[in-house]
Structure 1
Amino acid sequence: MSQSLSIPASVIKAYRQLQNTVRVEKLGNGLINTTWKIQCGEEAYILQKINHHVFRDPYIIENNLKQIAAFIHSHDADYQLPLPLKTLCGEELVFDTAHGYFRLFPFWEGSVTHTVLKTVQQAFEAARLFGKFAKKLNGLDPKLLGASIPDFHNLSLRYHQFMNAVDQADRNRKERASLLIHFLQEHAGIVEAYESYVHAGTMQLRVMHHDTKISNVLFDDEDHGLAVIDLDTVMPGYFISDLGDMIRTYTCAVNEEEAALDKITIRKDFFEAIIKGYLSEMKDVLSDAEKKLLVFSGEFMIYMQCLRFATDYLENDRYYGSSYPGHNLNRALNQMKLLQELIQQKPAFENSIAGILDNIGT
């Protein structure tokens, strides 16, 4: 096994399953955790290194997974959850003093993941699976879980961080971002709406996934959804986080790295597929008040991501990093255009949702 893959010998020795490792392949290009596929004879496994700079207490994740598994399997013993395997000592995490925390998962044979969503069916299936996951966890007391990333989707905090960045930013950066800053301040009503919904209890606090990108869904070779994966961010939150991030990342044909703003549009058929898929599982879970916030969920997540990119640009690219001058500014402008597109089409989307609700029942 190549040393360049940075898997410590202590981790390999910790698992009975890895004693006959024959091939190691690094998977994906994730920005947070590092993942490998390890072939051991006829069996394959997924090894993951947890980024403890993002997940500062990996044992919160471990406890959350135990709570999730116990609750779901007490109601549905056959539901498939990607749970870590135990070490020879019976632990679910391996800590190496020089390299950090690791855990091992079975590899789901016959499964595939997509880094880019291409079809309406993929959008429907992904939304259905994330809806099913949330439905299975409905009734689990959120207080039993910890926040693996505190304030991850706290829009009020993100806006406060943005305004601080505006106050302290370099004059040149502030000037280059002036249009963006004006837009974000002009649309601060999204923050006010979010705060009013939270304070009024319009949205129920539930256990949510919080990272519903397409690469966190397992498909078969015919694009039928199998399971959701990467449960590190499962913690207490609101449904607008999960549905909103699907709207943010599935509806546009290009991603947040696209700098040509004329390419950023929202595909109505993909939007409707997300809503149909999610409501096929969650229609009886969401309250009538929550069903009125389906489009708002997209506004919430797109606006928040725009804030985060803008803040990072104004703070000299400390968090996301930058591959070229103005990288985070372009990312923020990308999300600004996406939000403008969603707002423009909101009346049509509200009509579509009404029809979808009528067809599937409430």
Structure 2
Amino acid sequence: MKDLLSIVSKFKVQGTVGEIKPLGAGLINDTYKVNTTEADAPDYVLQRINHAIFQNVEMLQDNIAAVTGHIRKKLTEAGETDVDRKVLTFLPTEEGKTYWFDGDSYWRVMVFIPRAKTYETVNPEYSYYAGAAFGNFQAMLADIPATLGETIPDFHNMEFRLKQLREAVAANAAGRVAEVQYYLDEIEKRADEMCKAERLYREGKLPKRVCHCDTKVNNMMFDEDGKVLCVIDLDT
């Protein structure tokens, strides 16, 4: 078991660290809640970055810094008075980086947002709020001046994904193609439309945009009234 207290101490946290315990059920990164003992000090979230998936951690964190910095600027200019609850805040180390490498794993720390929650499933009203929040997220990033790196190459390249699917169908390694042929046919019927974005981009008709690329409802935080506070999980 890693010495989590020692890892947290590498970051510029406020207050005295007390209990550290697992948080959530994320599939990619290991996440922990870091409680501080003082009432006026924030709590934190400690996360071990999955280096097998995100192999260029410096680029990953630079991307996140550019995105959160731009959103913070937009919110401030719009007169938002609760900016710290509307965008993630990552802590620097003594060296000024937003991650720390312990010789084996990469770690990062962000400020815990109190009185906020995530949901795995939502009702139609919350779905509307979620859709609006992701739309607003994309709108705020439409004019981001920074050039972001690609953390997982071809992660949302539909042409590449269809190629992978077709290769898997041809190989039929598990002998299950016949069972799902209806669904495969439905995908092929839509293949041309599914690849339209990549095609238009190559033709110069669609500009490159910053996208979240994992727009599901549990990647946003809601307040106590069911309104969206902020979009999270900015790795992709």
Distance in 2 of aligned mates of 1:141 and 1:156? 28
TM-score under structure 2 length normalisation: 0.83
Do structure 1's residue 125 and structure 2's residue 121 form an aligned pair? Answer: no
TM-score under structure 1 length normalisation: 0.56
Change (3 A) 1:123 1:174: closer
Which residue does 2:115 correspond to in 1?
110
Q: How many residues align?
A: 226
Distance in 2 of aligned mates of 1:114 and 1:163? 34
Do structure 1's residue 12 and structure 2's residue 16 form an aligned pair? Answer: no
Partner SS, residue 172 of structure 1: coil
The one-letter amino acid of 1:109's match is P
More helix per residue = 1
Change (3 A) 1:19 1:95: farther
1:267-302 deviation digits (Å, cap 9, x = unpaired): xxxxxxxxxxxxxxxxxxxxxxxxxxxxxxxxxxxx
CA contact (8 A) 1:10 1:96 kept: no
Change (3 A) 1:140 1:16: closer
More off after superposition, 148-157 vs 10-19? 10-19
Distance in 1 of aligned mates of 2:115 and 2:5? 29
Do structure 1's residue 32 and structure 2's residue 38 form an aligned pair? Answer: no
Which residue does 2:55 correspond to in 1?
56
Distance in 2 of aligned mates of 1:187 and 1:16? 50
Per the TM alignment, residue 7 of structure 1 is displaced from its structure 2 partner at its CA by: 5.2
Do structure 1's residue 176 and structure 2's residue 179 form an aligned pair? Answer: yes
Per the TM alignment, residue 191 of structure 1 is displaced from its structure 2 partner at its CA by: 3.7
Distance in 1 of aligned mates of 2:13 and 2:206? 44
Distance in 1 of aligned mates of 2:53 and 2:173? 27
| Stretches of structure 2 lacking an aligned partner (at least 5 in a row) | none
- RMSD, aligned CA: 2.5
Taking the TM superposition and a 5 Å limit, the aligned residue runs for 1:1-362 are 3=1, 6=2, 8=4, 10-17=6-13, 20-41=16-37, 42=39, 43-77=42-76, 78=80, 79=83, 80-98=86-104, 100-117=105-122, 119-141=123-145, 144-170=147-173, 172-233=175-236
Identity, in percent, stands at 28
1:130-172 deviation digits (Å, cap 9, x = unpaired): 2222121121246x11011111110000011111112222372
Partner SS, residue 115 of structure 2: coil
| Stretches of structure 1 lacking an aligned partner (at least 5 in a row) | 234-362
Partner SS, residue 60 of structure 1: helix
Structure with the larger RCO, 1 or 2 (CA within 8 Å, 6+ apart): 2
Distance in 2 of aligned mates of 1:174 and 1:192? 23
